[in-house]
Amino acid sequence: MSGHGTPIPMTSRRCGPLAGTAQVPGDKSISHRSLILGAMCVGTTRITGLLEGDDVLDTARAMRAFGARVTDHGDGAWSVEGVGVGGFAEPDRVIDCGNSGTGVRLIMGAMATAPITATFTGDASLNARPMGRVTDPLALFGARATGRAGGRLPLTIEGARDPLPVQYTVPVPSAQVKSAVLLAALGAPGETIVIEREPTRDHTERMLAGFGAEIEVEDTDEGRIITLQGQPELQPQDIAVPRDPSSAAFPVCAALIVPGSDVLVPGIGLNPTRAGLFTTLREMGADLTYENEREEGGEPVADLRARHSPDMTGIRVPPERAASMIDEYPVLSVVAAFARGTTDMPGVKELRVKESDRIDAMAQGLRACGVAVEDGPDWWRVEGTGAVPGGATVESRLDHRIAMAFMVLGMASETPVTVDDGRPITTSFPIFETLMGDLGAQLERGAPA
């Protein structure tokens, strides 16, 4: 999502019951990692169910620029012929990661211990986000970064010629930072140790083990200690990407607030480092069940069934749960507006540095729609009354999750809700409009007539 061109407003109006089956696309986190790890082994990695959203397509293009052969076989099937750990070629152009913090941060890590130089940029949202959190630990390996003030993109990384292994405690709860360090560690000889005080999504660790790296994870009182041996020969894999719980959140939450709804969302990854929203919704009294629980590709998976839940109540979301649902707070705040009572969301400072300042974006938009919201530097609070007036045009701020959250709000509010630009949705959920429309949502391009 470049942010260039003409904005496309999108309007959601109150609809009848949502019903049917929602086949949401592949997991964004796992899709990025499949392409990047595929590029870091010699041989062919085959991927099915890849998310073909703009963020992941930007990562596919980047892997080609670093020398991997990435092929789209149609219908979510892709292959990557990798160049091996340390084998990245120097790109002959600027790497544009579009809107994707995950893409740029993981790729910076993957190239930081190769003897090459690369320059990275993105759209207005990505170029405003902090990158020092990644370039600081990459400097410990011997990589040098030169960027704009505050470590912002565009920035250039000169990879370490003689990389050293590191020991690093991640100072913010961020899977992207942890993963950048682990990917850099692949190119450094010896043992790198990464410590995270609060567990974040662990797809990189699981996938590195799957690709044959020597990696150990230990849960201790100080946090999670990850030990990775550098310079492995990664083995190409066949990867079936599970469907994305962060995308499933939208049809699930819509079904909970639209009267009469009953929606099945099959095959959703329920890795405990990702499933915090569903636990929270159940605590609020949501009629949300897990059916057919199983394991696929090393990840726990289930079919989610969500039914209209008129008696939900507000709760305090435990701050230690934040990392496991960090992308789901925008849509949770929508559900909270339809529940009764206060939903407190403490310990969420990271929401301020996502694709947008998500606390501010949601607080302002919800207030414009008649919902009482309070917020502070690392917390916010929504007062639910069981009904939402709606009737506003809100800014999506180059943020897909803000745009989709307000489209869900409009499905149950008294008057329609419009976002000023729905284009960011294609970064993570390119079929959102048709999928929600097939369930019975009334979404249309443009402002309300």
Nearest distance in Å: CB 175, ligand S3P: 4
- Whole-number Å distance between alpha carbons of 318 and 243: 26
The 3-state secondary structure of 49-90 reads CCCCCHHHHHHHHHHHHCCCEEEEEECCEEEEEEECCCCCCC
102 contributes a contact to ligand S3P by CB under 6 A: yes
Q: Of 89-97, 135-143, 170-178, 436-444, which part binds ligand S3P (CB under 6 A)?
A: 170-178
Q: Of 74-82, 169-177, 217-225, 365-373, which part binds ligand S3P (CB under 6 A)?
A: 169-177
Strand partners, 262: 19, 307
Q: What residues contact 364, with CB distance under 8 A and at least 6 apart?
A: 394, 395
176 contributes a contact to ligand S3P by CB under 6 A: yes
59 contributes a contact to ligand S3P by CB under 6 A: no
Nearest distance in Å: CB 324, ligand S3P: 11
Q: How many residues bind ligand S3P (CB under 6 A)?
A: 10
184 contributes a contact to ligand S3P by CB under 6 A: no
Half-sphere exposure of residue 206: CA atoms within 13 angstroms, side-chain side: 19
Do residues 332 and 253 lie in contact, with contact meaning Cβ atoms separated by under 8 Å?
Answer: yes
239 contributes a contact to ligand S3P by CB under 6 A: no
180 contributes a contact to ligand S3P by CB under 6 A: no
Q: Of 110-118, 173-181, 334-342, 357-365, which part binds ligand S3P (CB under 6 A)?
A: 173-181
Give yes or no: 238 in active site. no
Residues within window 312-331 making contact with ligand S3P, judged by CB under 6 A: 326-327
- Using CB atoms within 10 A of its CB, is residue 232 exposed (0-12), middle (13-18) or buried (19+)? middle
Nearer to ligand S3P, 182 or 441 (CB): 182
Instruction: Spot the catalytic one: 27, 54, 244, 327.
Output: 327
100 contributes a contact to ligand S3P by CB under 6 A: no
Q: Pick the binder of ligand S3P from 47, 127, 170, 201 (CB under 6 A).
A: 201
Q: Which residues of 279-312 are buried (b: 16+ CB within 10 A; e: fewer)?
A: bbbeebbbbbebeeeeeebebbbbbbbbbbbeeb
179 contributes a contact to ligand S3P by CB under 6 A: yes
Q: Pick the binder of ligand S3P from 350, 360, 378, 438 (CB under 6 A).
A: 350
Nearest distance in Å: CB 29, ligand S3P: 3
Nearest distance in Å: CB 68, ligand S3P: 19
413 contributes a contact to ligand S3P by CB under 6 A: no
Nearer to ligand S3P, 308 or 400 (CB): 400
Nearest distance in Å: CB 354, ligand S3P: 6
- Whole-number Å distance between alpha carbons of 69 and 65: 9
Tokens in use for 272?
């405990």
**DSSP H helical ranges for 321-399:** 329-338, 358-368
Q: Of 172-180, 280-288, 312-320, 365-373, which part binds ligand S3P (CB under 6 A)?
A: 172-180
- Whole-number Å distance between alpha carbons of 165 and 230: 8
Pairing of β 167-170 and β 191-196:
parallel
Nearer to ligand S3P, 179 or 413 (CB): 179
Do residues 340 and 313 lie in contact, with contact meaning Cβ atoms separated by under 8 Å?
Answer: yes
**3-state secondary structure (DSSP) of residue 20:** strand
Q: Pick the binder of ligand S3P from 31, 135, 174, 356 (CB under 6 A).
A: 174
Chain centroid to CA 408: 18
Nearest distance in Å: CB 162, ligand S3P: 28
Query: Which of 347, 344, 336, 348 lies closest to 285 in space, CA to CA?
Result: 336
**3-state secondary structure (DSSP) of residue 359:** helix
Sheet of strand 191-196, all strands in order from the earlier edge strand to the far edge: 167-170, 191-196, 223-229, 215-220
Q: Of 12-20, 116-124, 168-176, 232-240, which part binds ligand S3P (CB under 6 A)?
A: 168-176
Residues interacting with ligand S3P, by CB under 6 A?
29, 102, 174-176, 179, 201, 326-327, 350
Catalytic residue numbers read: 327
